[in-house]
Each structure stands twice: as structure tokens, then as C-alpha cells.
Amino acid sequence: MTTPQTWFITGSSRGFGRSLALAALQAGDSVAATARTPEQLSDLTDRFGERVLSLALDVTDPAAALRALQQTEDTFGRVDVVVNNAGYANIAPVEVASEEDFRRQFETNFWGVYNISKAALPFLRKQGGGIVIQFSSVGGRVGGTPGLGSYQAAKFGIDGLTRVLATETGPFGIRYVVVEPGGFATDWAGASMDVHGIPEEYQGTVGAFADRLRGTSQAGDPERAADILVRVAKRNDLPSHLVIGAGAAQMAIDYSTGQIEEATKWAAVSASADFGHDRVDLPDDV
């Protein structure tokens, strides 16, 4: 029988955060569930009592992040699993997207993760370890989705930051999982998303993606994903990256295969940039 864990989850009022908080509680764990409006978590408190700590939190506020983690430790004695889930996306071409909106998305999607991750480190280091689960996206691995310039830039940034954190803090027993979901039945593409004005020139790319996103039922079940993550968090051997969703898994495999093929094709040219190597011809241009 595994020891109950204490979870700290951002963005717990809906979507993945909500499903994950519920799955952890159903597994017998305790949860510090955070949201901008903690009143939306009252049903969890009513159902699970003292195993739920509902906290108001704006992840873009570093001081608030530190206070929330301190409250979690004060209440439960430790923090075993920190989940950076809070985030959102708006759709617009990079050329015409307002800089203000681009930065605002990045403030939540990247700097929010930075704030929580940094604030959590002293607590995890002091107690001799813990797990940090970073919600990215399969787009944070594959990229190239028209209209999601800010969102996917942030997700790539999360992956880069987490790789560094894993190296720096691994000796302290802190472990990381970057979660890369595909399309899931949350309100990510619903009430949480604004589609800004898309000019005619971008209707074939950004416009087509927006229409497809709004007109397609997502195959991913957030409750199934949450159950997977709760079970994964109780393992000794964690994956560094976890793709969830069948379509996302195939996208990740295809992308990684393509990367290997391209790096192999250009390997001799890459090596020829070093001192002492002969000049080589470029691969055939097809």
C-alpha cells in the first residue's frame, strides 16, 4: 500500500486541474487546490473535508505562490506533488496578434510555471524530494500549430526550463514529469479561449485551425488522464515526458522519427563545421 501524498495543483477550478484534484482525493491523497476564485472549489471541500485546502492564487504573482505553498506545508506538513496546470490560449496570427495579449498569455503560461516551480524548490529540497508535474502540450514538442504562437512558445519554454531544473535539483531528490496532452474534452478551446480577428490572408492556416478546433469533438477524457497521472506519481521510475492521448502519442512518434532522420541526413555537414574536418558536400537538394 502506497503512502498518501499531498498535492498542490494550480488551476483546480476546471479542466485538467479539476479532474486531477478529484482523482487524487479519490485515491486517498490530500490536495491544496488553487484557483483565482476558490469558491468554485467548495464542493470538493464539502465532500472531502480536511483533505482539501482551497486557496486563492494568481500564478503570475510570485509572492502569492510562496504564500500558497507555505500554507500547504503548514496545513499538511509537506508537499509531495506540485502540479503546474494553470494556463490558457487565445488564437491569432503572430503578425497581427496584439503584443499585450501575446505577453499576457506568456505571463500565465510560462512565468506562472516559473513562479510556482521556483517557490516550490525550498520546500521540496528541505523535505528531501518531491515531484513536479509540468503541463505542457503535444504542441510543446511538435509545435507549428497556426494561431498558437504565444501558447506554444511558452510550452517549449516550459520544457527547456524543466530540463535544466531536473539537472540542477536531481541531487535533492526532486523529480519532474512534463505532461504533453493532445486534444481533451476540457474548456481549453471553449470559454477559456478567444479567437481574435483573423485577416483574409491567414484564413487558410489560422482560420482553418480555429474552425476545426471549434467544430471537432476531442477524444481525450480528462478523468482518464487524471487517473493515469495519479498512478504515475506513485511510481519510483517516472517518465521525464508523458504524452497522453492516442493522437498525441502518434504525433510525438512521427515528429521524433523525423527529427532523427533529418539529423542523420545532415550529420556529416554538421561535423564539418569543426576545426580539423574536411569540407563536405550538402545533401542532394530535392
* pLDDT tens digits along 122-136: 999 999 999 999 999
Rounded mean pLDDT of 5-10?
A: 97
Q: Is the pLDDT of residue 200 over 80?
A: yes
Q: Is the pLDDT of residue 190 over 70?
A: no
pLDDT at residue number 192: 64
Active site residue 240: no
pLDDT at residue number 212: 82
**Cβ atoms of residues 32 and 75 within 8 Å:** yes
What phi and psi values does residue 163 have, to the nearest 5 degrees? -65, -40
User: What pTM does this model have?
Assistant: 0.92
DSSP strand E in the chain: where?
6-9, 30-35, 52-56, 81-84, 130-135, 174-181, 241-244
Single out the catalytic residue among 30, 117, 155, 176: 155
Q: What is the pLDDT of residues 204-251, one digit of tens each?
A: 999 998 888 876 666 788 899 999 999 999 999 999 999 998 889 999
Single out the catalytic residue among 114, 151, 176, 202: 151
CA distance 270 to 264: 10
Higher-pLDDT residue of 40, 265? 265
Active site residue 136: yes
pLDDT at residue number 182: 85
Active site residue 30: no
135 beta partners: 179
Q: What is the pLDDT of residues 228-240, one digit of tens each?
A: 999 999 999 999 9
Which domains does the chain possess? 6-244 (3.40.50.720)
CA distance 10 to 249: 25
Q: Is the pLDDT of residue 188 over 60?
A: no
Percent of the chain scored above 90 by pLDDT?
Answer: 78
**Cβ atoms of residues 272 and 211 within 8 Å:** no
Rounded mean pLDDT of 155-174?
A: 97
Rounded mean pLDDT of 243-270?
A: 95
CA distance 155 to 143: 9
Single out the catalytic residue among 19, 136, 137, 150: 136
CA distance 201 to 105: 24
**In the predicted model, what is the mean pLDDT of the chain?**
92
CA distance 101 to 107: 10
